[in-house]
Amino acid sequence: MAITDPTVPPKKRGCLFYGCLITSIVCVIGLALTILGVRAVYKKAVADFTTAQPETIQKGEIAPADLTALQARVERFEAALQNPKEQQELILTADDINALIANNPEFKSLAGKVYVMIEGDQVRSQVSVPLKDIGPLKFKGRYLNGVATIGLGLENGKLRITLQDVQVKGQSLPATIMTELKKQNWARDVQNDRGAANAIKKFESIKVEDGKVILKSKAPEAVPAPTP
């Protein structure tokens, strides 16, 4: 996962964990505002859940030598997924994930807008995202600043990312909205991508515990053949 020349388009990687996670967070926020943005509650939505200014979100910082070592760990794990010779485990802290986001050109636009935190077995993310108009509803120039709590894991061999809570201005989104958001698996688009789905099949487990994300590849004999 070495840093690439910014003039060269970055190679897309079907299902890097942190890519799935931050994409899911952004989708969550987009749907939340779509649901909020109905005429009946438009003024209340603007007043209660958006602001005129973005919130300052820290970026992942890491020493160059530590970044090189982190990238090497990720590359070894990715190589083990592609050509399994023995079972491998990759352990990522929140600092690791934020450093990868900040130093991967593919996610450069999200640096300073999304910051991942891991507390015990929960993944939380501080977000500050600019909004767009939704039909006749004018959100452009407003920002959604808040904290999203995410559930993460493998379920019957499929990646599952769920939304457990979203807090804006210190208050959770209304229960009626959260009920709908909690129903969604925000990794469903990843699962619908054949290449990404085949990559996920190579994982034995993905779990969050003790403030870390732990990814484990399947033993070589347990890796299924790719779906044609």
CB 118 within 8 A of CB 213: yes
3-state secondary structure of 151: strand
**pLDDT tens sequence across 43-54:** 767 777 788 888
The pTM of this model reads 0.78
Q: Which of 153, 181, 185, 152 is nearest to 167 (CA)?
A: 181
For 153, the 3-state DSSP assignment is strand
Secondary structure letter of residue 213 according to DSSP: E
What pLDDT is stored for residue 27 in this prediction?
A: 55
Percent of the chain at pLDDT exceeding 70: 76
> Once rounded to an integer, what is the mean pLDDT over residues 81-92?
86
Is the per-residue pLDDT at 125 higher than 70?
Answer: yes
Q: Is the dihedral of CA 54, 56, 60, 61 positive or negative?
A: positive
pLDDT tier at 66, thresholds 50, 70, 90: very high
Q: Which long-range contacts (CB under 8 A, 24 or more apart) does 41-50 make?
A: 42/137, 46/139, 46/142, 48/168, 48/169, 48/171, 49/144, 49/146, 49/168, 49/169, 49/173, 50/131, 50/139, 50/142, 50/143, 50/144
Average pLDDT, stretch 95-121? 84
Quick: pLDDT tens for 163-177: 888 888 888 887 877
Q: If you average pLDDT over residues 141-145, what whole number do you get?
A: 85
Distances in Å between the alpha carbon of 25 and those of 6, 82, 202, 216, 217? 25, 27, 24, 23, 24
Share above pLDDT 90 across residues of the chain, in percent, rounded to a whole number: 14
Please give the sequence-ordered ranges of beta strands (E in DSSP) within the chain, or none if there are none: 89-93, 114-119, 122-130, 143-155, 158-168, 171-172, 203-209, 212-217
